[in-house]
Amino acid sequence: MIEVNDIHKSFGDSHVLKGITATFEKGKTNLVIGQSGSGKTVFLKCLLGLFTPEKGYISYDGKIYSKLSDDEKRNLRQEMGMVFQGSALFDSMTVAGNVQFPLEMFTKQSKSEMEHRVDDVLKRVNLIDAHHKFPSEISGGMQKRVAIARAIVMNPKYLFCDEPNSGLDPKTAIVIDDLIKEITEEYDIVTVINTHDMNSVMQIGEKILFLKNGFKEWEGTKHEIFKTDNEAVTSFVYSSDLFKKVRQMYIEERN
């Protein structure tokens, strides 16, 4: 579990995060949404330990990050997996090489142990025959799956995803959403996803945190978001005519 307690983060005169409190549980897909400039990226970087809040604290399974030693922080960061918006794969490395990279950097496993682990995670993301291909030789959806495989190769307790569906067609985006949700439940990890994709909100939003101007404006589930009267949430989530119709249909069915 990740517990965020009243965190504030500023850059000069710009107060970006303003007292955010939240809890992210194991085995659930936690989504952070909001308009550009709402503080989502800074919030995610605080969770990753890249930014230090000036006030408040973040704890990971009871361990408050700011109170850990440098070695303890380093060990904690190795329990975190990250899926970057653009996948961030190394063009000069094969698929297997990209996935194996964290093992080479942070473990003392033998070559055969690393290769076995790479085989396992590539199989898990349905990329059995892609080991020797380079990123330029595979599709955008496959690149995302490689990025997920790399993020989970170290058996993380915490998985962070920054716009994992960016640049993908709707059908492939659903596949990636389902894969992240399956992995979250299967490995019982804490998953936090920054997203603008409202399909993801409706598909896998077990817990949704809506940020606005650095504040936590609303939180709830994908079911509760249909019923909320919070104008900021409804204007953001139901900005398109399609989603307005979906919400109306949901309300009518419930009535």
Q: State the CATH number of the domain containing residue 20.
A: 3.40.50.300
CA angle 165–114–193, rounded 5-degree value:
20
Supply the pLDDT for residue 167: 83
User: Which is higher by pLDDT, 238 or 116?
Assistant: 116
In a domain, 11, yes or no: yes
Residue 84 lies in a domain: no
Query: Cα–Cα distance between 221 and 225 in angstroms, integer?
Result: 6
Asked if residue 178 lies in contact with residue 29, where contact means CB atoms within 8 angstroms, the answer is no
Q: What is the mean pLDDT of the chain?
A: 91
Report the pLDDT value the prediction gives residue 254, as an integer from 0 to 100. 63
Higher-scoring residue by pLDDT: 252, 1: 1
pLDDT tens profile 195-224: 988 888 888 989 999 999 999 999 999 888
| Backbone phi and psi for residue 84, each to the nearest 5 degrees, phi listed first | -85, 155
Query: Considering the domain boundaries, does residue 37 fall inside one?
Result: yes
Question: How distant is the alpha carbon of residue 192 from its chain centre?
Answer: 4
Whole-number Å distance between alpha carbons of 166 and 227: 27
The count of structural domains within the chain is: 1
Q: What is the mean pLDDT of residues 130-152?
A: 94
Residue-level pLDDT at 250: 62
Residue 232 within a domain: yes
Q: Reduced to 3 states, what is the DSSP secondary structure of residue 126?
A: coil
Is the predicted pLDDT of residue 253 greater than 80, yes or no?
Answer: no
How much is the pLDDT for 202? 84
Could you tell me the residue range of the domain that residue 221 belongs to? 1-79+195-255
Phi-psi region of 74 (alpha: psi -120 to 50; beta: other; left: phi over 0): alpha
User: Would you say 159 and 2 are in contact if contact means Cβ atoms under 8 Å apart?
Assistant: no
Tell the burial category of 233 from Cβ atoms under 10 Å away from its Cβ (0-12, 13-18, 19+): buried
Q: Which residues contact 24 (CB under 8 A, 6 or more apart)?
A: 1, 2, 3, 4, 30, 190, 191, 192, 207
pLDDT above 90 for 87:
no
The Cβ of residue 78 has, within 10 Å, a number of other Cβ atoms equal to 16
- The DSSP bridge partners found for residue 9 are 17
Residue 127 lies in a domain: no
| Apex 1 CA angle, 80 and 26, nearest 5 | 85
Residue 207 is assigned to a structural domain of this protein: yes
pLDDT number for residue 197: 84
